[in-house]
């Protein structure tokens, strides 16, 4: 059977926090007896139907050994005496259904003598509302406590992701700095070698002039020595030129690496910003949950 229910009029509303996490209103419901009867409509935010049903089932079993009937959406127990409500026996019916906020449940307390008690009942209504409120608070706080642990674990995951991105960025930045230092070192060496090479150019010119100025009767050993000195200077010049060209190629390669590394850093920025946003949002959510629980406990 799929019972239909509707709210006729709101007589009393309990708003337990600024977010109205639990509300208890007077309503009528036709699913318990086939006729509309006075019930308590209870809506609790963030608590799913199964958890709410489990709580009430445990509560009733702790109160009495009377048989309890639980179906997909309903719980009922007949002739139960609730200590907090005195010595009167009640038939209690609950119909649970998911809501946008969490779970909506219609609670019917049927006095075995006078019938269903509404939320506006001058004698028993307040006590029953208080009982429903206390038990709903318990399951709400339990659920939110579980939420805190779950969200804390998720925050750690998000923080690890952000830390990983930052570590990668730091690693790249260090490589950029190291490459930059190597470029500066090579440029300094090139400048020194170019200065030495300029001196060698003049030296080679002088030595070649000296060789060319030697007369035909110059001793062979003297000419050979002069030629050797000139060639040694030319060899030094050629080696320096090769070293300079090699260092320039290194600088080119390093500057390419630096450019690529800067690109990698830029690519990381959206991911880092998104990860940081998620961490901040998760921290705000935890603050909200903790504040919510603190309000409920007061």
Q: What residues does each domain of the chain span?
A: 5-123, 149-297
> What DSSP designation does 165 have?
H
Spell out the alpha helix ranges (H) of the chain: 49-63, 125-213, 220-297
Quickly tell me which residue has 């939110």 as its tokens: 144
DSSP lists the bridge partners of residue 105 as 42, 96
Buried b (16+ CB within 10 A) or exposed e, 131-151: bbbebbbebbeebbeebbeeb
| Fold entry, domain 149-297 | Helix Hairpins (1.10.287)
Cβ count near 207 (within 10 Å)? 20
pTM: 0.60
State the sign of the Cα–Cα–Cα–Cα dihedral 224, 228, 231, 237: negative
> What DSSP designation does 110 have?
E
Distance, CA of 124 to CA of 244 (rounded, Å):
99
Residues written for the chain: 298
Contact indicator for 276, 166 with CB cutoff of 8 Å? no
Question: How confident is the prediction along the chain (298 residues), in pLDDT tens digits per residue?
Answer: 333 333 222 223 333 343 468 999 999 999 999 999 999 999 998 899 999 999 999 999 999 999 999 999 999 999 999 989 988 899 999 999 999 889 999 999 999 888 999 888 888 899 999 999 999 999 988 888 888 888 999 999 999 999 999 999 999 999 999 999 999 999 999 999 999 988 888 888 887 777 777 777 778 887 788 788 878 888 888 898 999 999 999 999 999 999 999 999 999 999 999 999 999 999 998 888 888 777 666 6
DSSP lists the bridge partners of residue 95 as 74, 106
Short-list 23, 146, 43, 17, CA closest to 96: 43
């Amino acid at each position: 059977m799929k019972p239909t229910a509707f709210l006729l009029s709101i007589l009393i509303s309990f708003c337990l926090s600024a977010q109205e996490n639990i509300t208890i209103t007077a309503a009528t419901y036709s699913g318990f007896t086939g006729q509309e009867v006075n019930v308590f409509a209870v809506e609790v935010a963030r608590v799913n139907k199964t958890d709410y049903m489990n709580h009430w089932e445990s509560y009733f079993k702790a109160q009495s050994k009377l048989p309890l009937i639980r179906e997909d959406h309903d719980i009922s127990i007949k002739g139960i005496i609730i200590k907090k409500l005195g010595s009167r026996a009640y038939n209690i019916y609950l119909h649970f259904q998911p809501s946008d906020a969490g779970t909506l449940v219609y609670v019917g307390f049927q006095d075995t003598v006078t019938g269903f008690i509404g939320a506006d009942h001058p004698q028993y209504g307040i006590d029953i509302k208080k009982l429903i409120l206390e038990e709903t608070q318990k399951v709400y706080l339990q659920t939110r406590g579980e939420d805190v642990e779950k969200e804390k674990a998720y925050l750690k995951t998000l923080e690890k992701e952000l830390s990983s991105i930052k570590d990668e960025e730091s690693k790249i930045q260090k490589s950029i700095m190291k490459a930059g230092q190597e470029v500066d070192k090579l440029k300094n060496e090139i400048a020194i070698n170019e200065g030495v090479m300029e001196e060698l150019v003049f030296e080679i010119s002088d030595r070649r002039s000296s060789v060319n100025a030697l007369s035909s009767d110059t001793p062979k050993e003297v000419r050979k020595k002069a030629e050797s000195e000139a060639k040694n200077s030319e060899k030094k010049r050629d080696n320096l030129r090769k070293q300079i060209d090699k260092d320039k190629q290194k600088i080119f390669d390093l500057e390419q690496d630096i450019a690529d590394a800067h690109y990698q850093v830029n690519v990381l920025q959206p991911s880092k910003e998104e990860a940081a946003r998620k961490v901040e949002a998760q921290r705000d959510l935890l603050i909200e949950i903790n504040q919510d629980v603190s309000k409920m406990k007061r």
